[in-house]
Amino acid sequence: MSTRNRVRVRLGRGAGGRVAGCLPALRHGLGADAEGPGKARRSVHARRLDRACPERLPRAPARGRARGRVRPPRAARARLSRRGQGDGARAVLSRRGALRGCDRDSSAGRCRCNPHRRGTARAVRDHNRKRPGRIEGQDLSHRPHRLVRRLRHHDRTCRRRARPHRCGRGDRARRRGDPRTRSLGRAHPRLSKVLVREPIAEAGIRLLRDRGFEVDVDVDSNLADTIGGYDAIVVRSATKLTADLIERAGRLKVIGRAGVGIDNVDVDAATRRGIVVANAPESTVVSAAEHTIGLLVALTRNIPQAHAALKQGRWERKTYGGVELAGKTLGVLGFGRIGQQVARRAAGLGMRVVAYDPFVSPERFRELGVEQVDGEGGVYEAADFITLHLPLTDETRGSIGAEAFARMRDGVRIVNAARGELVDEAALLAALRSGKIGGAALDVFSEEPYAGPLLELDNVVVTPHLAASTEEAQDRAGVIIAEQVAAALEGGLVSNAVNIPVIGAEDLEVLGAYIPLAAKLGRLAMELAEGRVDELRLTYFGGLAQYDTRLLTVAALNGAFQGRSDRPVNYVNAPVIAAERGVEVREERSRSSRDFTNLVRVEAMSAGETLRVAGTTIGNDDRPWLVSALGFELDMELAPLLVVFRYDDVPGVIGKVGTLFGASGVNIANMTVSRTRRGGQALMALSIDSQASPELVAQVHAEFDDARFLSLR
């Protein structure tokens, strides 16, 4: 039988009798020593020596507690707590103060533990407030492998641990970082509220709520009274958001149109207020294309008329004969997403397709096997059927009128499932009655609901704006617009915004790093310019020139007008503010770049003088870097706080600047100096870590004629 030295503990006077009296109770039920013949020694942790050694002389029990409730410690097992087993012996003893005159008493003259026993070295912290966990085990070395101060925790003398030791931060650290205590008394940020004015997919509403927004579905209240209490509103086609309603919406940040068309939203009024307007253009593409083909087939085969006659009991096979689509020519005006899907389906019906859209590349036409024609006239002259997929603008409104009909083939048939205002309905009525137009299939009208004279004609097929009315389209529209609204409220990229330049995900991978650079350069140019700025010119060099850089231009304008307007400036209304102030904005691109792969230059024209600043990004984190300003080449990061000096190139200037800032306690983080020629003009630019005091600003201006303190925050 192996032997093991027991721990010797000195007890206070009078404690021995109490211990002797409680010994049978404590030893009752503990069982035989685990170290019997043929049995291996149990593993012992240095911090749990009292639990693992039953022969240790026990302490006095807690006064007034029933000894029968005391439970023995369990055998050493990995990572098991006493949950559900009541108090252990150590926990009961911890509530008694009989042994206070020992190592946890702040008045103790010395530590009463035997300092030379093996296996009692305090665990070494491997980092802040952390000791080896149970799963790691612990070496029972003779002493720690380096000096460690033994903490006695005198401030907690009576709070012996009654639960297993946890790895990680101590109790005090946990209390400081406990979110339950940190949140007490702290004001919570206001939740953004979203008004869903017309029914959308339940999945979209759930998405908004899951993102933490408060969503109200209200289709009946007076919108003029309620819109002021919301940060976002979601509508479909029935709700008209006029300029007056938008002016009442003091909190409104985003308008979401669950669909394609935005003619029921005053986009100009929203843009002036800095409100993002977003739609869901891809949600209804398939549904609209299929409905267009359905109208085309119904028109050529007189399906609605034959259906109505048969319902009335008339069997008229000869009256409602039609024509085949195969071999005919379909003209597509507007070759966007829907127009391309219609062309695919028409080609499947054996039709020849011609199309016109000045904004689509010839390669796209060739990919789809569609013949590209020059101008609307090419479509009018070639097509047997014409389908409209144009956006509604000032130029396209009413463009399909008497003049256009006169240029079309006799008997041509027209399909319109895009926008009712594209067609001059009075001219269409006259052309249908005269026979110039053989028939029309209409899903949209200039005024809806429509009850005009076109409904009286037999060669007109109509549906009540059903192109997007499919379950799939409505579900997609609800989810897409919910994502757009959430992105706008969270400060993310609103990919479907109609009043902000939108770029694709692939382009954003390249241009994203230059957005903050453009904003800082725009701010810097306006800060350095003296007097009123008449023109801002942005030039993009190198690889940037092959991308759509409109978003970078808007970012530069957003930075340029920060703090210079009586209303908040953002990416939506920055171009409007520039126009209102008479600032002309020009954008140029050049693929040649002498020193940098990509370079952004901002020029501010003021009173006939031109001020230029330029920058790029460097490093893996794409830090914005200033490379030139005021005609000097520089090399420094565009930090939030800058100071720029222009002076004669003489000795002692750098030292004078350092002395001034050092005496004021302002640290200079970076500094760059440039000069035109020796003994000529020089420029010093430096970034500082803290705001300069008014006294320092006054001292600098007293020493230098041209010194500017700039904030790019």
Tell me the three-class secondary structure of 247-281, residue by residue: HHCCCCCEEEECCCCCCCECHHHHHHCCCEEEECC
Angle between helices 694-703 and 653-663 in degrees, nearest 10? 160
Nearest to 579, CA basis, from 561, 559, 597, 552: 561
Question: H-helix or E-strand containing 609?
Answer: strand 609-618
- On whether residue 313 sits in a domain, the answer given is yes
Residues 252 and 326 in one domain: no
DSSP per residue over 642-677, as a string? EEEEEEE--TTHHHHHHHHHHHTT--EEEEEEEESS
- Copy the structure tokens of residue 498: 């109609």
- On whether residue 200 sits in a domain, the answer given is yes
CB 489 within 8 A of CB 310: no
3-state secondary structure of 478: helix
Residues 452 and 313 in one domain: yes
Distant-in-sequence, close-in-space partners of 3: CB < 8 Å, separation ≥ 6 = none
Residues 569 and 637 in one domain: yes
Q: Which residue, of 149, 174, 199, is where some domain finishes?
A: 174
Q: Which residue, of 404, 433, 462, is where some domain finishes?
A: 462
Residues 307 and 291 in one domain: yes
CB 688 within 8 A of CB 668: yes
Q: What is the pLDDT of residues 525-566, one digit of tens each?
A: 998 987 788 899 999 999 999 898 999 999 999 999 888 877
Q: Range of 558's domain?
A: 505-711
Number of folded domains that form the chain: 4
CB 517 within 8 A of CB 613: no
Nearest to 210, CA basis, from 198, 219, 218, 202: 202
- pLDDT at position 609 is 86
- Copy the structure tokens of residue 407: 């240029």
Question: H-helix or E-strand containing 466?
Answer: none
Residues 277 and 310 in one domain: no
Cα–Cα dist 299/443, whole Å: 12
- On whether residue 30 sits in a domain, the answer given is yes
Q: What is the pLDDT of residues 330-385, one digit of tens each?
A: 999 999 989 999 999 999 999 999 999 988 888 899 999 999 999 999 999 999 99
- On whether residue 181 sits in a domain, the answer given is no
- pLDDT at position 674 is 92
Residues 396 and 436 in one domain: yes
- pLDDT at position 606 is 83
Please give the C-alpha separations between residue 95 and each of 41, 68, 160, 389, 451, in angstroms, as whole numbers.
31, 17, 8, 83, 89
CB 362 within 8 A of CB 309: no
Please give the C-alpha separations between residue 245 and each of 68, 198, 207, 242, in angstroms, as whole numbers.
77, 16, 26, 5
- On whether residue 229 sits in a domain, the answer given is yes
CB 56 within 8 A of CB 7: yes
Please identify every stretch of the chain with a pLDDT value under 70, giving residue numbers as ranges. 1-189, 679
Distant-in-sequence, close-in-space partners of 621: CB < 8 Å, separation ≥ 6 = none
Residue 414 phi/psi, 5-degree rounding, is -120, 135
Residues 586 and 476 in one domain: no
- Copy the structure tokens of residue 417: 């499932």
Apex 507 CA angle, 502 and 512, nearest 5: 80
State the number of CA atoms in the 13 A half-sphere of 310 facing the CB.
Answer: 9
- On whether residue 88 sits in a domain, the answer given is yes
- Copy the structure tokens of residue 181: 């205590």
Residues 629 and 699 in one domain: yes
CATH of the domain at 551: 3.30.1330.90
Could you tell me where the beta strands, DSSP code E, fall in 167-271? 193-196, 214-217, 232-235, 254-257
Active-site positions read 419, 448, 465
Residues 64 and 202 in one domain: no
Residues 143 and 214 in one domain: no
- On whether residue 16 sits in a domain, the answer given is yes
Q: To which residue do tokens 């398939």 refer?
A: 286
Residues 491 and 537 in one domain: no
Apex 536 CA angle, 530 and 541, nearest 5: 120
Nearest to 645, CA basis, from 698, 701, 708, 696: 708
User: What end-to-end distance do the CA atoms of the chain give, in Å?
Assistant: 77
Amino acid at 491: G
- pLDDT at position 185 is 36
Residues 234 and 357 in one domain: no
- On whether residue 50 sits in a domain, the answer given is yes
Q: What is the pLDDT of residues 20-70, one digit of tens each?
A: 444 444 343 344 444 444 444 444 454 444 444 455 555 555 554 444 455
CB 314 within 8 A of CB 320: no
Cα–Cα dist 444/448, whole Å: 8
Residues 102-120: b if buried by 16+ CB within 10 A, e if exposed: bebbeeeeeebeeeeeeeb
CATH of the domain at 256: 3.40.50.720
Q: Which residue, of 131, 148, 174, is where some domain finishes?
A: 174
DSSP per residue over 339-369, as a string? HHHHHHHHHHTT-EEEEE-TTS-HHHHHHHT
